[in-house]
Structure 1
């Protein structure tokens, strides 16, 4: 396993650290029963350099969508406690926005809701005002793929109504405790990696999560490589999740429930219906991603703080996709060993 990784992703990550794309990274690779974990680079490089230690916590950003809210909703659907095409308002009547009468859970999970996420002066709103504004956003009739945090924020609000608890408590009882994730939550532990160097250590990077706190369905979770290995292993060991290897979006964009489907955009894979080449994947703004190959029993967890010194998002998308591609190719080699 080590040689393929060293010549592929590890070499690329080292180059990214050397060029300042991120100070450091913690990552893990699961190949069937084997788990390899790595720590490279620095925790922070400004105002002073601090070493990166094993199993530090990172701001997951949008990876929170699948580690938290998304998986709870998926489990409710798989256990038939709610239905994929149920209306949001049937479970969360507080949503009053235009188009509410036709907005479904499927559309929220696949980012095909047509929601216009614009909220005037959003970053100046306190909790009550922001929640009220989110309950009034417009769901347009244009049901095409448009990625938006609001979809998962509303799903989080729905879960709080269904359970009668805060989202934080729901995630703890439904995901973190049963999956064995003891260092994951909305409160950053002491050994948290610095995100943007201007922010106090442990302060979440996402501005909506800064306001919504433990009620945020779209971001805001902190976690470690060890906890995300446990999360991935829970998915790999549960055959119910094989149902996610389908396109649920009902649009031209291929999306699973909560997750993106990496290989379904490849026409050759679709034609062969080779599910062994399909990866469930979700990325996060701060430089994080989780990848699962349910058929080959493989996973990749990657955590970095790429917004530590700068936030060159467009260049990061290029660099990130090269790294993901390197992991995909390497994992295929490992799967054939």
Structure 2
């Protein structure tokens, strides 16, 4: 495996000071290359980035955890895409919103919650259920954490346990993701995120404010994991039949489709969609996390990229990172066809 252009793009993120460090994996079927660039921390002092360190992966929680449990419940017939969410969340006032709307971020749920980050869990829950549906409902994809917070509460209503408990039992443990957790026992093994006014340096505790308040009942953020565990996850996604008890193959195979209500809003269940051209033009799924993480998976060619960084360290939001992240994804998608085990020209 080479991926020289992709690795050079990752190195530039570090060299230019856009991020402190990067941990990555490049996956071609059963072949995997991993690496670390830069440092884990720059405050309160510079700290080396070690192989196997744990990252707060923020919204990757949505697709690794919450979506996976949702796909299981869909496969089991305990959940249907077009059922109104009021079936499980009776306090929510608008019966037009369905499970599909939550999963594709087309619910249009919006509204302002005063002093949101200072609320306790019960008050935040009531406030979120007091939001309303806006004009983008059913026609535009507007990414919002509330969709997967609600989805986590639906999972809790069906299974009788908090979503993060369900994810641990139903996803992380059976896939052998042994270094993945919602409650890191060794903060020193975690890459720190932001330095905040209220909470100081965040290390081994969730960065996301809503995740910090809701804890086990948050389906939108909270997962801590490693490159190696995410390699396991990506490889399972590329061969779901091998992990059928965790990843319903029929559902996973169809995630490259546009699942939005009109079929044209460019979103799958959980995952964002992009395209690649080899061996023929086809869709690829990807997702990012606010802390500076993302996964790109091409199930057709069994290729994937794991990218973990702490772009919010020491200060969020670090907006220049976003354009450069997208450029790295573009470089990877352009380069990966040349690296594919399916491509006879590499032999």
Same fold flag (TM > 0.5):
yes
The 3-state SS of whatever aligns with 1:61 is: coil
Alpha carbon RMSD of aligned pairs, Å?
Answer: 1.8
Cα deviation digits, residues 30-79 of structure 1 (max 9, x gap) = 10111111111111012211111101100101111101111111222234
Moved over 6 A (4+): none
**Alignment partner of 1:142: what SS?**
coil
Q: Does 1:332 align with 2:337?
A: yes
Instruction: Give CA-to-partner distance per residue, 1:162-194, whole Å, 9 cap, x none.
Output: 100122210011111111111112112421001
Q: Distance in 1 between matches of 2:114 and 2:232?
A: 40
Shift of 1:117: 4.3
Per-residue CA deviation, residues 314-333 of structure 1 (Å, 9 max, x unaligned), is 31211110011111112111
Provide structure 1 residue ranges, at least 5 long, that are not aligned to the other structure.
Answer: none
Q: Say which SS state the counterpart of residue 254 (structure 1) adopts.
A: coil
Select between 134-143 and 103-112 the one with higher mean Cα deviation. 134-143
Distance of aligned partners of 1:109 and 1:274 in 2 relative to their CA distance in 1, 3 Å threshold: farther
Match of 1:170 in 2: 166
1:250 is aligned to: 261
8 Å CA contact retained: 1:176, 1:182:
yes
Partner Cα distance (1:71, 1:331) in 2: 26
User: Pick from 191, 194, 204: which aligns with 1:193?
Assistant: 191
Offset at residue 141 of structure 1 (A): 5.3
Q: Which residue of 2 aligns with 1:148?
A: 144
Query: C-alpha separation between the residues in 2 aligned to 1:200 and 1:250?
Result: 39
CA distance in 2, matches of 1:75, 1:324: 29
* Match among 56, 64, 69 for residue 67 of structure 1: 64
Is the counterpart of residue 259 in structure 1 residue 264 in structure 2? no
Q: 2: CA distance between counterparts of 1:141 and 1:306?
A: 33
* Mean CA deviation greater in 309-318 or 11-20: 309-318
- 1:32 aligned partner: 29
Alignment of 1:1-337 (within 5 A): 1-2=1-2, 5-6=3-4, 8-90=5-87, 92-97=88-93, 99=94, 101-140=95-134, 142-143=136-137, 144-190=140-186, 191-197=189-195, 198-238=200-240, 239-240=249-250, 241-251=252-262, 252-263=264-275, 274=280, 277-335=282-340, 336=343, 337=346
Q: What's the TM-score once normalised by structure 2's chain length?
A: 0.89
> TM-score when scaled to structure 1?
0.91
1:73-109 deviation line (CA, Å, top 9, x unaligned): 122223433211111112x134323x2x111000000
SS of 1:262's partner is strand
3-state secondary structure, aligned to 2:222: coil
Is 249-258 or 290-299 further displaced after alignment?
A: 249-258
Contact 1:183 1:189 (C-alpha < 8 Å) held by counterparts: no
**How many angstroms apart in 2 are the aligned matches of 1:185 and 1:214?**
11
Secondary structure of 2:173's counterpart equals helix
Classify the secondary structure of the residue corresponding to 1:261: strand
Contact map agreement 1:110 1:257 (CA 8 A) in 2 = yes
